[in-house]
Amino acid sequence: MHLAVSLNIAAADGQDVLDFGQISAFVRNLEAAGVDMVIISDSLTSGEPSTSPFEATTLLAALATVTEKIGLVASASTLAHQPYNLARRFASLDIISHGRVGWNATLRQSPLEAANFSRPAGIPNDDFRRRAEEFIGIVQGLWRGWDADALLFDKAGGRFHDARKMHVLDHKGEFFAVRGPLNIARSPQDMPVLAMSGLAGADLDFAAGVADVIAIEEPSPEGARATCDDLKKRVLTAGRTPDALKVLTTVFAPDLTVARLETWLSAESCDGLIFAFPADLSAINGFTDRIVPELRRRNSDRSAYYADTTLRAHLGLGDGGAK
Amino acid sequence: MHLAVSLNIAAADGQDVLDFGQISAFVRNLEAAGVDMVIISDSLTSGEPSTSPFEATTLLAALATVTEKIGLVASASTLAHQPYNLARRFASLDIISHGRVGWNATLRQSPLEAANFSRPAGIPNDDFRRRAEEFIGIVQGLWRGWDADALLFDKAGGRFHDARKMHVLDHKGEFFAVRGPLNIARSPQDMPVLAMSGLAGADLDFAAGVADVIAIEEPSPEGARATCDDLKKRVLTAGRTPDALKVLTTVFAPDLTVARLETWLSAESCDGLIFAFPADLSAINGFTDRIVPELRRRNSDRSAYYADTTLRAHLGLGDGGAK
């Protein structure tokens, strides 16, 4: 059973902003408890004044230097970024973290976000969906830009490779034209983990074909089981093995008691759980005090698990890498 | 006299790629020698196959956790990014590094870069210049989005502030529409340092009005002096004090001997020097062996200098901050 924590770093008006010391102490605590990955949110979620202490990808790079095992996933929307930049930044994070990085692609557009990217009216919904799918295809295509034999040897982490085995993508689509190649060293996972959340019904078939992790929200283990089964069927239809996608159910950590945790852990409603947090130190401290010791007890021997060096490997995902 | 090092992290075909351990050892060495800042390049410079080990902003975030004093500057072009993202990422880096970050705005477009951003034909030169100027204005406007009294107090680095003192920018220009505000905590420098390099004649008046640091290339100290004097006149014309801009002359480190270093340091051709490096470990080791001890001898007591907490302060720049 996989465990993840999703941390909303944007504090609401009047709330104290988390500092790097607090966030890194929390993430190290999660790592010690055997949590597979932490997912950093990074979006405007409402019209209320709110403040992030950090932008998610720069925060992940800093967290990578103070942790060793835990997976590090940053959210980033397809509206706010260029696919070439996003692919390049995550490939760089994958090198800095020694293969522990993932991208959480958020597939909803927010009007407040659009207003910061020269799109005051946003993008019509159908266009937005086709654009997001094209975007994700480009990112994965750029990540696949290295031949499998491009890596010559790994001399004490030097990871020398042959730059001639890097390929142009030469994508020309409806919304983007991206030549490539990525112009960055081959990363340890080849393909950083692709997570998706906040999916609408119309996104599910696409997501089942390309995602490594999908986060769902269901109030009960039974509902989660049904949604999970539906997604796994779509994964098969997309020509992948069911294990190529991990479906994790989001539970909201401030409401969590040890008894409720027990219900969820016993139900095995799918591949695992995501504990979702607001940027609120009291919620974090409560989780650390009450729930983390229970997780640590259950995960007391994670050594074999963590022997896998990359996030992709320790989630039991296929290599997804260079074809 | 200010000293900087510019490091090109993209290795040419066949060359070994620097790893994070090598780069961080080098940067810590520069810090110990009293170098003010390291500037990380981040662009395609030619049609030759080349490979970066990292994307510059994620590398800076990781370097921020292993250094304490040295300024950290990343290059990023106005073609490859959205101004809102770029402003937000550098504000985040400024928080992670406790006020040591700068943006090196490169004002030339490269056709290879344009081809990765859905602009296969690039942008006409005059448009590119107006677009770059609008871009930089938006970034600085977003950085200025906090009222001067927004910071309530700094409790052990918590830096609590009042989110109501964050302002929308509401920019609607020829190339961009950006509402703002930045949705990120107020950063220690308010305005990360703005460096510019590779300027054409037509860029100089604009740069003199907005930049904190300009890098020039001149083969002799006399030529550098003349260019520097010209720039300082333009700074006055722009209504700023000459000290608001630091002009640094680029010298190419692989060619540098202790004797040539002596010539440049004695000439005081302007505000300081930038040593420019290829991503070549032998050049870096040569500099570390021969030149760094000399710099360390000259800068043996930098304690007073480094008592200033931010890069902006230790370069002797104005606060550039919230108006």
CB pairs under 8 A between A and B: 190
B264-287 pLDDT, tens digit each: 988 888 999 999 988 888 888 888
pLDDT value at position A323? 37
In chain B, what residues touch A44 (CB-CB under 8 Å)?
A: 183
B180-215 pLDDT, tens digit each: 888 888 888 989 999 999 899 999 999 999 999 999
Mean pLDDT, rounded, for B238-242: 94
- Number of neighbours of residue A56 by Cβ within 10 angstroms: 24
| Residue with the larger pLDDT of the pair B295 and B65 | B65
Hey, are the CB atoms on A184 and B53 less than 8 Å from each other?
yes
pLDDT value at position B44? 55
Instruction: Report the C-alpha gap between A155 and B17 in whole angstroms.
Output: 11
In chain B, what residues touch A54 (CB-CB under 8 Å)?
A: 92, 95-96, 184-185
Instruction: Report the C-alpha gap between A73 and B306 in whole angstroms.
Output: 35
Q: What is the DSSP letter of B96?
A: H
Percent of chain B with pLDDT over 70: 91
What superfamily in CATH does domain B2-117+188-314 come from?
Luciferase-like domain (3.20.20.30)
List the single residue in B62, B161, B180 with the smallest CB-CB distance to A116. Answer: B180
Mean pLDDT, rounded, for B118-141: 92
Q: How far is B146 from chain A (nearest CA, A)?
A: 12
Hey, are the CB atoms on B96 and A19 less than 8 Å from each other?
no
Mean pLDDT, rounded, for B46-60: 81
Question: What's the farthest any 2 CA atoms get from each other in chain A?
Answer: 56
Instruction: Report the C-alpha gap between A72 and A74 in whole angstroms.
Output: 7
Find the helix or strand (DSSP H, E) in which B73 lies. Answer: strand B71-77
pLDDT value at position A223? 95
Residue B247 has pLDDT above 90, yes or no: yes
Is B319 known as a binding-site position?
no
Q: Which residue of chain B is at minimal alpha-carbon distance from A20? A: B96
pLDDT value at position B321? 39
Hey, are the CB atoms on A158 and B19 less than 8 Å from each other?
yes
Band of residue B47 on the pLDDT scale cut at 50, 70, 90: low
Q: Note whether A169 and A157 are within 8 A (CB).
A: no
Site from A15, A52, A55 to mutate, B interface, most B CB atoms within 10 angstroms? A55
List the single residue in B10, B55, B80 with the smallest CB-CB distance to A92. Answer: B55
List the single residue in A53, A55, A185 with the smallest CB-CB distance to B51. Answer: A185
pLDDT value at position B156? 54
Q: How far is B245 from chain A (nearest CA, A)?
A: 28
Whether the link from the prior residue into B254 is cis, omega within 30° of 0, is no
In chain A, what residues touch B93 (CB-CB under 8 Å)?
A: 58
pLDDT value at position A322? 36
3-class SS of residue B3: strand
Query: CB-based burial of residue B142 (10 Å sphere; 0-12 exposed, 13-18 middle, 19+ buried)?
Result: buried
Hey, are the CB atoms on B80 and A80 less than 8 Å from each other?
no
Q: What parts of chain A have a pLDDT lower than 50?
A: 321-323
In chain A, what residues touch B101 (CB-CB under 8 Å)?
A: none
Q: What CATH number is given for A2-115+189-314 in this structure?
A: 3.20.20.30
Q: What is the residue whose two structure tokens read 């027990």?
A: A262
Show the 3-state SS of chain A. CEEEEEECCCEECCCCCCCHHHHHHHHHHHHHCCCCEEEECCCCCCCCCEEECCCHHHHHHHHHCCCCCCEEEEEEECCCCCHHHHHHHHHHHHHHCCCCEEEEEECCCCHHHHCCCCCCCCCCHHHHHHHHHHHHHHHHHHHCCECCCCEEECCCCCCEECHHHECCCCEECCCCEECCCCCECCCCCCCCEEEEECCCHHHHHHHHHHCCEEEECCCCHHHHHHHHHHHHHHHHHCCCCHHHCEEEEEEEHHHCCHHHHHHHHHHCCCCEEEEEECCCHHHHHHHHHHHHHHHHHHCCCCHHHHHCCCHHHHCCCCCCCCC
Hey, are the CB atoms on B163 and A13 less than 8 Å from each other?
yes
| Domain range annotation of chain A | 2-115+189-314
| Residue with the larger pLDDT of the pair B42 and B126 | B126
Instruction: Report the C-alpha gap between A188 and A94 in whole angstroms.
Output: 7
Hey, are the CB atoms on B21 and A157 less than 8 Å from each other?
yes
Hey, are the CB atoms on B58 and A61 less than 8 Å from each other?
yes
pLDDT value at position A158? 54
Mean pLDDT, rounded, for B110-115: 84
Site from A8, A58, A89, A146 to mutate, B interface, most B CB atoms within 10 angstroms? A58
Hey, are the CB atoms on B59 and A92 less than 8 Å from each other?
yes
Q: Which residue of chain B is at minimal alpha-carbon distance from A166? A: B49
